[in-house]
Chain A
Amino acid sequence: MTDGTTMFRAFYFSVALLSLLSFNSSYVLADAEDCDSLDFDACFEENETDLKLFQPKQRQAPQKVYEQEQTNSSSTTPATQSAPITASAPVAADITSYEIRERYTLGKSAQTPYSAFFVIEALHKQMANKCPKGWTKLGEWSVAIEDADYYLHYEFACR
Protein backbone atom coordinates (compact mmCIF):
# COMPACT_ATOMS: atom_id res chain seq x y z
CA MET A 1 0.00 0.00 0.00
CA THR A 2 1.54 3.30 -1.04
CA ASP A 3 1.67 6.34 1.17
CA GLY A 4 -0.64 8.10 -1.28
CA THR A 5 -3.29 5.40 -0.83
CA THR A 6 -2.93 5.58 2.93
CA MET A 7 -3.42 9.32 2.87
CA PHE A 8 -6.48 9.04 0.65
CA ARG A 9 -8.03 6.46 3.00
CA ALA A 10 -7.25 8.65 5.98
CA PHE A 11 -8.85 11.57 4.20
CA TYR A 12 -11.99 9.61 3.36
CA PHE A 13 -12.24 8.56 7.01
CA SER A 14 -11.96 12.17 8.09
CA VAL A 15 -14.64 13.16 5.60
CA ALA A 16 -16.96 10.50 6.99
CA LEU A 17 -16.23 11.60 10.53
CA LEU A 18 -16.81 15.25 9.76
CA SER A 19 -20.01 14.39 7.90
CA LEU A 20 -21.39 12.86 11.09
CA LEU A 21 -20.95 16.22 12.74
CA SER A 22 -23.08 17.97 10.15
CA PHE A 23 -26.34 17.18 11.94
CA ASN A 24 -25.92 20.26 14.09
CA SER A 25 -27.30 23.35 12.39
CA SER A 26 -25.13 26.25 13.22
CA TYR A 27 -23.53 29.24 11.58
CA VAL A 28 -21.79 29.41 8.24
CA LEU A 29 -18.22 30.63 8.61
CA ALA A 30 -17.16 33.37 6.25
CA ASP A 31 -14.35 31.80 4.26
CA ALA A 32 -12.41 34.94 3.26
CA GLU A 33 -11.26 37.81 5.39
CA ASP A 34 -12.15 41.27 4.11
CA CYS A 35 -8.69 42.46 5.04
CA ASP A 36 -7.03 40.15 2.49
CA SER A 37 -9.32 40.89 -0.44
CA LEU A 38 -10.15 43.90 -2.60
CA ASP A 39 -12.72 44.71 0.11
CA PHE A 40 -9.81 45.63 2.41
CA ASP A 41 -11.40 49.04 3.05
CA ALA A 42 -14.27 47.27 4.84
CA CYS A 43 -11.67 45.96 7.28
CA PHE A 44 -11.68 49.39 8.95
CA GLU A 45 -15.41 49.47 9.64
CA GLU A 46 -16.40 49.22 13.26
CA ASN A 47 -18.53 46.32 14.39
CA GLU A 48 -20.25 45.65 17.68
CA THR A 49 -18.34 42.39 18.06
CA ASP A 50 -14.92 44.07 17.72
CA LEU A 51 -12.42 43.30 20.46
CA LYS A 52 -11.39 46.71 21.75
CA LEU A 53 -8.07 47.31 23.45
CA PHE A 54 -9.83 49.67 25.84
CA GLN A 55 -13.11 51.47 26.11
CA PRO A 56 -12.76 55.27 26.02
CA LYS A 57 -14.86 57.01 28.61
CA GLN A 58 -18.00 58.27 26.98
CA ARG A 59 -19.00 61.53 28.51
CA GLN A 60 -22.72 61.94 28.83
CA ALA A 61 -24.32 65.17 27.70
CA PRO A 62 -24.82 67.42 30.71
CA GLN A 63 -28.30 67.84 32.15
CA LYS A 64 -29.44 71.37 31.33
CA VAL A 65 -30.96 72.51 34.59
CA TYR A 66 -32.35 75.74 33.17
CA GLU A 67 -34.38 73.88 30.53
CA GLN A 68 -35.96 71.76 33.25
CA GLU A 69 -36.77 74.88 35.25
CA GLN A 70 -38.31 76.51 32.18
CA THR A 71 -40.62 73.57 31.58
CA ASN A 72 -41.63 73.52 35.25
CA SER A 73 -42.25 77.25 35.52
CA SER A 74 -42.84 80.11 33.02
CA SER A 75 -41.01 82.70 35.17
CA THR A 76 -37.34 83.60 34.77
CA THR A 77 -36.81 84.12 38.48
CA PRO A 78 -33.14 84.60 39.34
CA ALA A 79 -31.47 81.80 41.21
CA THR A 80 -31.53 83.74 44.48
CA GLN A 81 -35.24 83.03 44.70
CA SER A 82 -34.95 79.33 43.83
CA ALA A 83 -35.20 76.47 46.32
CA PRO A 84 -33.11 76.98 49.49
CA ILE A 85 -29.80 75.25 49.77
CA THR A 86 -29.90 72.09 51.80
CA ALA A 87 -27.00 69.84 52.58
CA SER A 88 -29.10 66.79 51.78
CA ALA A 89 -30.22 67.91 48.31
CA PRO A 90 -30.50 64.72 46.23
CA VAL A 91 -28.19 64.13 43.28
CA ALA A 92 -29.37 61.92 40.44
CA ALA A 93 -27.15 58.86 40.39
CA ASP A 94 -27.14 58.47 36.63
CA ILE A 95 -26.30 62.10 35.71
CA THR A 96 -22.60 62.83 35.41
CA SER A 97 -22.69 66.59 34.77
CA TYR A 98 -25.01 69.56 34.86
CA GLU A 99 -25.24 72.76 32.86
CA ILE A 100 -26.60 75.91 34.47
CA ARG A 101 -26.76 79.52 33.38
CA GLU A 102 -27.59 82.97 34.65
CA ARG A 103 -28.23 86.17 32.78
CA TYR A 104 -25.98 89.14 33.45
CA THR A 105 -25.32 92.49 31.92
CA LEU A 106 -22.29 94.65 31.24
CA GLY A 107 -24.45 97.76 31.26
CA LYS A 108 -27.87 98.38 32.70
CA SER A 109 -30.67 95.89 32.08
CA ALA A 110 -34.22 95.43 33.29
CA GLN A 111 -33.95 91.69 32.58
CA THR A 112 -31.30 90.86 35.18
CA PRO A 113 -29.94 92.24 38.42
CA TYR A 114 -26.54 90.66 37.93
CA SER A 115 -23.33 92.20 36.81
CA ALA A 116 -20.45 90.05 35.56
CA PHE A 117 -19.19 89.98 39.16
CA PHE A 118 -22.35 89.05 41.06
CA VAL A 119 -23.63 86.52 38.55
CA ILE A 120 -20.86 84.21 39.73
CA GLU A 121 -22.36 84.10 43.22
CA ALA A 122 -25.75 83.17 41.77
CA LEU A 123 -24.21 80.31 39.82
CA HIS A 124 -22.27 79.12 42.86
CA LYS A 125 -25.53 78.88 44.76
CA GLN A 126 -26.99 76.71 42.00
CA MET A 127 -23.97 74.44 42.04
CA ALA A 128 -24.10 74.09 45.81
CA ASN A 129 -27.76 73.16 45.53
CA LYS A 130 -27.02 70.39 43.07
CA CYS A 131 -23.78 69.22 44.67
CA PRO A 132 -23.84 69.83 48.43
CA LYS A 133 -20.60 67.88 48.85
CA GLY A 134 -18.71 69.97 46.35
CA TRP A 135 -18.30 70.22 42.61
CA THR A 136 -15.77 70.37 39.81
CA LYS A 137 -16.26 72.97 37.11
CA LEU A 138 -15.90 71.38 33.69
CA GLY A 139 -16.57 74.37 31.51
CA GLU A 140 -17.48 78.04 31.46
CA TRP A 141 -18.70 80.13 28.56
CA SER A 142 -20.74 83.20 27.75
CA VAL A 143 -23.43 83.64 25.11
CA ALA A 144 -24.57 87.08 23.95
CA ILE A 145 -28.34 87.64 24.06
CA GLU A 146 -29.20 91.23 23.30
CA ASP A 147 -27.75 94.68 23.88
CA ALA A 148 -25.21 94.21 26.68
CA ASP A 149 -26.81 91.13 28.20
CA TYR A 150 -25.26 87.68 28.22
CA TYR A 151 -25.86 84.24 29.62
CA LEU A 152 -22.98 82.87 31.69
CA HIS A 153 -23.00 79.06 31.45
CA TYR A 154 -21.29 76.64 33.82
CA GLU A 155 -20.92 72.91 33.27
CA PHE A 156 -20.00 71.01 36.40
CA ALA A 157 -20.01 67.61 38.02
CA CYS A 158 -20.50 66.64 41.62
CA ARG A 159 -17.47 65.47 43.53
Chain B
Amino acid sequence: MKKLLPVVIASLAASSYAVAGGHATASAPTVYGKVNVSLNNNDYEGAVGSEQDNWTLNSNASRIGVKGSYALTSKTKAIYKAEYEYGADDGVADGGSGDEFKSRNVVVGFQGEHGTILVGKHDTPLKMSQGKVDRFNDLELGDIGDYIDGDEREENIIMYKSPSFNGVTVTAAFIPGEEEGASAERDGLSDGTSIAIEYKAGDLRVALAANSDTEQDGGDDTDVTRFTVEYKVLPELNLGLLINNSEDDNTDSEQDAWLISGAYSLSNTTTFNFQYGVADNETGATDWEVTQTAIGLDYNFNKTSKVYAYFSQIESEATGDPEDSTFAIGYQVKF
Protein backbone atom coordinates (compact mmCIF):
# COMPACT_ATOMS: atom_id res chain seq x y z
CA MET B 1 0.00 0.00 0.00
CA LYS B 2 2.90 2.35 0.82
CA LYS B 3 4.34 2.03 -2.68
CA LEU B 4 0.95 2.27 -4.35
CA LEU B 5 -0.22 5.42 -2.56
CA PRO B 6 2.08 7.93 -4.30
CA VAL B 7 1.30 6.39 -7.69
CA VAL B 8 -2.43 6.77 -7.10
CA ILE B 9 -2.13 10.37 -5.95
CA ALA B 10 0.19 11.31 -8.82
CA SER B 11 -2.17 9.73 -11.37
CA LEU B 12 -5.10 11.66 -10.03
CA ALA B 13 -3.09 14.85 -10.21
CA ALA B 14 -2.04 14.28 -13.81
CA SER B 15 -5.45 13.28 -15.10
CA SER B 16 -7.61 15.66 -13.22
CA TYR B 17 -5.75 18.91 -13.03
CA ALA B 18 -4.54 19.49 -16.59
CA VAL B 19 -4.70 23.22 -17.10
CA ALA B 20 -6.46 24.53 -20.17
CA GLY B 21 -5.04 27.45 -22.10
CA GLY B 22 -5.61 30.95 -20.76
CA HIS B 23 -4.62 32.88 -17.67
CA ALA B 24 -5.51 32.21 -14.03
CA THR B 25 -8.12 34.32 -12.33
CA ALA B 26 -7.03 35.25 -8.82
CA SER B 27 -9.11 36.26 -5.87
CA ALA B 28 -7.56 38.40 -3.18
CA PRO B 29 -5.92 36.44 -0.34
CA THR B 30 -7.93 36.02 2.85
CA VAL B 31 -6.51 36.71 6.28
CA TYR B 32 -7.87 34.49 9.02
CA GLY B 33 -6.97 33.33 12.48
CA LYS B 34 -7.88 32.65 16.05
CA VAL B 35 -6.81 34.20 19.33
CA ASN B 36 -7.32 32.05 22.40
CA VAL B 37 -5.97 33.07 25.79
CA SER B 38 -6.65 31.62 29.20
CA LEU B 39 -5.66 32.29 32.77
CA ASN B 40 -4.76 28.97 34.33
CA ASN B 41 -4.26 27.87 37.88
CA ASN B 42 -1.93 24.87 37.58
CA ASP B 43 -1.07 22.11 40.00
CA TYR B 44 1.20 19.65 38.21
CA GLU B 45 2.91 16.71 39.92
CA GLY B 46 4.59 15.41 36.78
CA ALA B 47 1.91 13.16 35.25
CA VAL B 48 2.29 14.65 31.76
CA GLY B 49 3.91 18.00 32.44
CA SER B 50 6.76 19.19 34.62
CA GLU B 51 5.99 19.90 38.26
CA GLN B 52 4.50 23.30 38.91
CA ASP B 53 2.06 25.05 41.21
CA ASN B 54 1.38 28.45 39.74
CA TRP B 55 -0.80 30.82 37.75
CA THR B 56 -0.11 31.29 34.06
CA LEU B 57 -1.54 33.30 31.21
CA ASN B 58 -1.55 30.97 28.21
CA SER B 59 -1.97 31.45 24.49
CA ASN B 60 -3.69 28.29 23.32
CA ALA B 61 -2.67 27.68 19.71
CA SER B 62 -3.44 31.27 18.70
CA ARG B 63 -2.79 31.58 15.01
CA ILE B 64 -2.86 33.82 11.99
CA GLY B 65 -2.85 32.73 8.38
CA VAL B 66 -3.27 33.70 4.77
CA LYS B 67 -5.13 31.55 2.28
CA GLY B 68 -6.41 31.96 -1.22
CA SER B 69 -7.10 30.48 -4.60
CA TYR B 70 -6.63 31.05 -8.31
CA ALA B 71 -9.20 29.74 -10.77
CA LEU B 72 -7.26 27.80 -13.39
CA THR B 73 -10.22 26.42 -15.33
CA SER B 74 -13.94 26.49 -14.79
CA LYS B 75 -13.58 23.39 -12.61
CA THR B 76 -10.10 23.61 -11.10
CA LYS B 77 -8.35 26.09 -8.88
CA ALA B 78 -4.91 26.42 -7.38
CA ILE B 79 -5.01 26.84 -3.60
CA TYR B 80 -2.54 27.91 -0.95
CA LYS B 81 -2.42 28.48 2.77
CA ALA B 82 0.24 29.60 5.23
CA GLU B 83 -0.73 29.46 8.90
CA TYR B 84 1.45 30.38 11.87
CA GLU B 85 1.07 30.12 15.60
CA TYR B 86 1.97 33.09 17.76
CA GLY B 87 1.99 33.84 21.44
CA ALA B 88 -0.93 36.09 22.31
CA ASP B 89 0.24 35.94 25.93
CA ASP B 90 3.95 36.77 25.71
CA GLY B 91 4.68 37.34 22.02
CA VAL B 92 6.54 34.04 21.69
CA ALA B 93 5.08 31.04 19.89
CA ASP B 94 4.93 27.78 21.83
CA GLY B 95 7.73 25.27 21.42
CA GLY B 96 10.59 26.86 23.30
CA SER B 97 12.34 28.21 20.21
CA GLY B 98 11.83 31.82 21.22
CA ASP B 99 10.45 32.68 17.80
CA GLU B 100 7.50 35.00 17.41
CA PHE B 101 5.87 32.66 14.91
CA LYS B 102 5.85 28.89 14.54
CA SER B 103 4.59 27.31 11.37
CA ARG B 104 1.42 25.28 11.52
CA ASN B 105 -0.15 24.12 8.25
CA VAL B 106 1.68 25.55 5.23
CA VAL B 107 0.52 24.09 1.94
CA VAL B 108 -0.08 24.65 -1.74
CA GLY B 109 -2.18 22.52 -4.04
CA PHE B 110 -5.05 22.04 -6.41
CA GLN B 111 -8.77 21.63 -5.92
CA GLY B 112 -11.34 20.43 -8.41
CA GLU B 113 -14.19 18.08 -9.07
CA HIS B 114 -11.89 15.08 -8.54
CA GLY B 115 -10.76 16.15 -5.10
CA THR B 116 -8.09 18.17 -3.37
CA ILE B 117 -4.32 17.75 -3.40
CA LEU B 118 -2.09 19.53 -0.91
CA VAL B 119 1.67 19.43 -0.41
CA GLY B 120 3.78 20.97 2.32
CA LYS B 121 3.40 20.80 6.07
CA HIS B 122 0.04 19.69 7.39
CA ASP B 123 -1.82 17.71 10.03
CA THR B 124 -2.03 14.07 9.09
CA PRO B 125 -5.38 12.60 8.05
CA LEU B 126 -5.35 10.56 11.26
CA LYS B 127 -4.98 13.66 13.41
CA MET B 128 -7.77 15.41 11.54
CA SER B 129 -10.03 12.37 11.85
CA GLN B 130 -10.70 13.15 15.52
CA GLY B 131 -13.15 15.84 14.42
CA LYS B 132 -14.88 17.42 17.38
CA VAL B 133 -14.36 14.49 19.74
CA ASP B 134 -11.56 16.33 21.51
CA ARG B 135 -13.75 18.88 23.29
CA PHE B 136 -10.74 20.60 24.87
CA ASN B 137 -8.60 20.71 21.78
CA ASP B 138 -5.54 22.99 22.01
CA LEU B 139 -6.16 23.76 25.70
CA GLU B 140 -3.59 23.31 28.44
CA LEU B 141 -3.97 19.80 29.89
CA GLY B 142 -7.20 19.42 27.91
CA ASP B 143 -5.94 18.40 24.47
CA ILE B 144 -5.91 14.62 24.01
CA GLY B 145 -2.47 15.00 22.47
CA ASP B 146 -1.14 15.42 26.01
CA TYR B 147 -1.59 11.69 26.66
CA ILE B 148 -2.84 9.93 23.49
CA ASP B 149 -0.45 9.23 20.61
CA GLY B 150 -1.17 10.17 17.01
CA ASP B 151 -1.62 13.94 16.93
CA GLU B 152 1.07 14.81 14.41
CA ARG B 153 1.71 17.57 11.92
CA GLU B 154 4.06 16.25 9.24
CA GLU B 155 6.49 18.11 7.07
CA ASN B 156 6.99 17.21 3.40
CA ILE B 157 3.54 15.66 3.23
CA ILE B 158 1.69 14.99 -0.01
CA MET B 159 -2.01 14.57 0.68
CA TYR B 160 -5.14 13.86 -1.36
CA LYS B 161 -8.78 14.05 -0.38
CA SER B 162 -11.42 12.45 -2.56
CA PRO B 163 -14.84 13.86 -3.35
CA SER B 164 -17.66 12.44 -1.31
CA PHE B 165 -19.26 9.25 -2.64
CA ASN B 166 -22.51 8.54 -0.80
CA GLY B 167 -21.12 10.24 2.29
CA VAL B 168 -17.74 8.48 2.17
CA THR B 169 -14.49 10.39 1.68
CA VAL B 170 -10.93 9.12 1.67
CA THR B 171 -7.98 11.26 2.69
CA ALA B 172 -4.55 9.76 2.10
CA ALA B 173 -1.03 11.08 2.49
CA PHE B 174 2.55 9.93 2.02
CA ILE B 175 5.75 11.41 3.35
CA PRO B 176 9.21 10.90 1.81
CA GLY B 177 11.89 10.25 4.42
CA GLU B 178 14.46 12.60 2.83
CA GLU B 179 17.35 11.04 4.74
CA GLU B 180 20.76 11.38 3.10
CA GLY B 181 23.85 9.26 3.19
CA ALA B 182 24.76 5.71 2.43
CA SER B 183 23.28 4.44 5.67
CA ALA B 184 20.00 6.28 5.30
CA GLU B 185 17.03 4.12 6.22
CA ARG B 186 14.28 6.60 5.38
CA ASP B 187 15.10 7.72 1.87
CA GLY B 188 12.08 6.40 0.03
CA LEU B 189 9.11 8.15 -1.53
CA SER B 190 6.53 6.99 1.00
CA ASP B 191 8.42 6.17 4.18
CA GLY B 192 5.50 7.53 6.17
CA THR B 193 1.84 7.20 5.28
CA SER B 194 -1.48 8.28 6.77
CA ILE B 195 -4.97 7.46 5.61
CA ALA B 196 -8.45 8.24 6.90
CA ILE B 197 -11.83 7.02 5.68
CA GLU B 198 -14.75 9.09 6.85
CA TYR B 199 -18.47 8.48 6.58
CA LYS B 200 -21.07 11.15 7.24
CA ALA B 201 -24.80 10.68 7.25
CA GLY B 202 -27.05 13.20 8.93
CA ASP B 203 -26.03 13.53 12.58
CA LEU B 204 -23.58 10.62 12.41
CA ARG B 205 -19.87 10.78 11.61
CA VAL B 206 -17.58 7.75 11.63
CA ALA B 207 -13.89 7.73 10.79
CA LEU B 208 -11.23 5.05 10.63
CA ALA B 209 -7.64 6.15 10.23
CA ALA B 210 -4.14 4.73 10.30
CA ASN B 211 -0.61 6.09 10.36
CA SER B 212 2.38 4.02 9.36
CA ASP B 213 5.91 4.99 10.33
CA THR B 214 5.01 8.60 10.97
CA GLU B 215 6.87 10.81 13.40
CA GLN B 216 5.81 10.71 17.04
CA ASP B 217 7.72 12.79 19.57
CA GLY B 218 10.81 12.90 17.39
CA GLY B 219 10.75 9.24 16.42
CA ASP B 220 9.65 7.91 13.08
CA ASP B 221 8.55 4.32 13.48
CA THR B 222 5.15 4.75 15.08
CA ASP B 223 2.09 3.00 13.73
CA VAL B 224 -1.25 4.35 14.92
CA THR B 225 -4.80 3.23 14.31
CA ARG B 226 -7.72 5.43 15.32
CA PHE B 227 -11.47 4.95 15.25
CA THR B 228 -13.80 7.88 15.89
CA VAL B 229 -17.56 8.18 16.14
CA GLU B 230 -19.61 11.33 16.67
CA TYR B 231 -23.37 11.38 16.93
CA LYS B 232 -25.99 13.96 17.80
CA VAL B 233 -28.03 11.88 20.22
CA LEU B 234 -30.43 14.72 20.96
CA PRO B 235 -30.81 18.17 19.40
CA GLU B 236 -28.89 19.55 22.35
CA LEU B 237 -26.49 16.64 22.97
CA ASN B 238 -23.50 15.54 20.88
CA LEU B 239 -21.50 12.47 21.96
CA GLY B 240 -18.15 11.26 20.77
CA LEU B 241 -16.03 8.12 21.09
CA LEU B 242 -12.38 7.69 20.15
CA ILE B 243 -10.37 4.47 20.24
CA ASN B 244 -6.66 4.67 19.56
CA ASN B 245 -3.82 2.14 19.32
CA SER B 246 -0.18 2.95 18.71
CA GLU B 247 2.98 0.88 18.48
CA ASP B 248 6.57 2.00 18.26
CA ASP B 249 9.01 -0.72 17.23
CA ASN B 250 12.05 1.43 18.01
CA THR B 251 11.16 1.88 21.67
CA ASP B 252 9.18 -1.36 22.00
CA SER B 253 6.23 0.59 23.34
CA GLU B 254 2.52 0.29 22.82
CA GLN B 255 -0.48 2.31 23.84
CA ASP B 256 -4.18 1.48 23.88
CA ALA B 257 -6.42 4.45 24.54
CA TRP B 258 -10.09 5.32 24.49
CA LEU B 259 -12.05 8.46 25.14
CA ILE B 260 -15.67 9.52 25.44
CA SER B 261 -16.76 13.11 25.24
CA GLY B 262 -19.81 15.23 24.78
CA ALA B 263 -21.28 18.67 24.43
CA TYR B 264 -24.65 19.59 25.89
CA SER B 265 -26.30 22.85 24.83
CA LEU B 266 -27.79 24.48 27.89
CA SER B 267 -29.13 27.29 25.72
CA ASN B 268 -28.49 28.92 22.34
CA THR B 269 -25.37 30.51 23.77
CA THR B 270 -24.09 28.14 26.45
CA THR B 271 -22.58 24.70 26.07
CA PHE B 272 -21.40 22.24 28.71
CA ASN B 273 -18.47 20.08 27.60
CA PHE B 274 -17.20 16.89 29.22
CA GLN B 275 -14.50 14.38 28.45
CA TYR B 276 -13.09 11.19 29.98
CA GLY B 277 -10.15 9.31 28.51
CA VAL B 278 -7.88 6.41 29.44
CA ALA B 279 -4.53 5.44 27.94
CA ASP B 280 -2.80 2.16 28.80
CA ASN B 281 0.91 2.45 28.11
CA GLU B 282 3.49 -0.33 27.85
CA THR B 283 7.21 0.11 27.39
CA GLY B 284 9.10 -3.13 27.67
CA ALA B 285 8.11 -4.68 30.96
CA THR B 286 6.68 -1.45 32.38
CA ASP B 287 3.08 -0.46 32.04
CA TRP B 288 1.05 2.38 33.47
CA GLU B 289 -2.34 3.93 32.93
CA VAL B 290 -3.12 7.61 32.36
CA THR B 291 -6.62 8.95 32.93
CA GLN B 292 -8.08 12.32 31.93
CA THR B 293 -11.21 13.93 33.32
CA ALA B 294 -12.28 17.31 31.98
CA ILE B 295 -15.38 19.49 32.22
CA GLY B 296 -16.00 22.95 30.85
CA LEU B 297 -18.49 25.63 29.95
CA ASP B 298 -18.57 27.83 26.86
CA TYR B 299 -20.55 31.05 26.55
CA ASN B 300 -20.79 32.25 22.95
CA PHE B 301 -21.27 35.95 22.35
CA ASN B 302 -21.70 35.34 18.62
CA LYS B 303 -20.28 33.17 15.84
CA THR B 304 -16.79 34.55 16.35
CA SER B 305 -16.16 34.93 20.06
CA LYS B 306 -16.71 33.15 23.33
CA VAL B 307 -15.61 33.04 26.93
CA TYR B 308 -15.06 29.73 28.61
CA ALA B 309 -14.02 27.99 31.75
CA TYR B 310 -12.75 24.47 32.21
CA PHE B 311 -11.17 22.07 34.63
CA SER B 312 -8.95 19.19 33.50
CA GLN B 313 -7.17 16.54 35.50
CA ILE B 314 -4.75 13.88 34.29
CA GLU B 315 -3.76 11.09 36.66
CA SER B 316 -0.93 8.70 35.98
CA GLU B 317 -0.08 5.33 37.53
CA ALA B 318 3.61 5.97 36.90
CA THR B 319 5.96 6.07 39.87
CA GLY B 320 4.46 8.19 42.62
CA ASP B 321 0.98 8.29 41.02
CA PRO B 322 1.40 11.91 39.90
CA GLU B 323 -1.67 13.96 39.19
CA ASP B 324 -1.78 17.13 37.08
CA SER B 325 -4.72 19.49 37.16
CA THR B 326 -5.59 22.92 35.88
CA PHE B 327 -8.50 25.29 36.15
CA ALA B 328 -8.84 28.08 33.63
CA ILE B 329 -11.01 30.88 32.36
CA GLY B 330 -10.42 32.01 28.84
CA TYR B 331 -11.48 34.03 25.85
CA GLN B 332 -11.45 33.17 22.16
CA VAL B 333 -11.93 35.29 19.05
CA LYS B 334 -11.96 34.00 15.48
CA PHE B 335 -11.49 36.22 12.44
Q: Which residues of A contact B (CB under 8 A)?
A: 3-4, 7-8, 10-11, 14-15, 18-19, 21-22, 24-33, 35-38, 40-41, 43-44, 46, 50-56
> Any chain A CB within 8 A of the CB of B304?
yes
List the 10 closest A-B pairs by CB distance, nearest first. Answer: A29-B300, A7-B327, A14-B309, A41-B116, A22-B270, A52-B28, A50-B30, A27-B302, A22-B267, A32-B132
Q: How many A-B residue pairs have CB under 8 A?
A: 142
CA separation between A22 and B300, bound complex, in Å?
A: 9
With contacts A11-B327, A43-B67 taken as known, whether A18 is within 8 angstroms of B309 at the C-beta atoms is yes
Q: Name which residue of chain B comes closest to A3, CB basis.
A: B43
Q: Which residues of B contact A (CB under 8 A)?
A: 26-32, 34, 41, 43, 53, 65-69, 77, 79, 81, 83, 105, 111, 115-116, 118, 122-123, 125, 128-129, 131-132, 135, 137, 161, 169, 171, 196, 198, 207, 263, 265-271, 295, 297-307, 309-311, 313, 325-327, 329, 334-335
Cβ–Cβ contact B327 & A10, under 8 A: yes
Q: Which residues of the other chain, A, contact B271 by a CB distance below 8 angstroms?
A: 31
CA separation between A22 and B236, bound complex, in Å?
A: 15
Cβ–Cβ contact B327 & A28, under 8 A: no
Cβ–Cβ contact B298 & A29, under 8 A: yes
Cβ–Cβ contact A11 & B309, under 8 A: yes
Cβ–Cβ contact A7 & B311, under 8 A: yes
Cβ–Cβ contact B132 & A31, under 8 A: yes
CA separation between A27 and B32, bound complex, in Å?
A: 20
Q: Which residues of the other chain, A, contact B269 by a CB distance below 8 angstroms?
A: 21-22, 24-28
* Among A19, A41, A50, contact of B266 (Cβ-Cβ < 8 Å): A19
A95 CB → nearest B CB, Å: 23
* Among A37, A51, A56, contact of B30 (Cβ-Cβ < 8 Å): A51
Q: Which residues of the other chain, A, contact B137 by a CB distance below 8 angstroms?
A: 32, 36
Given A31-B135, A52-B28, 4 new contacts (CB under 8 A): A29-B298, A38-B125, A53-B29, A56-B26
Q: Name which residue of chain A comes closest to B105, CB basis.
A: A35
Q: Which residues of the other chain, A, contact B132 by a CB distance below 8 angstroms?
A: 31-32, 37
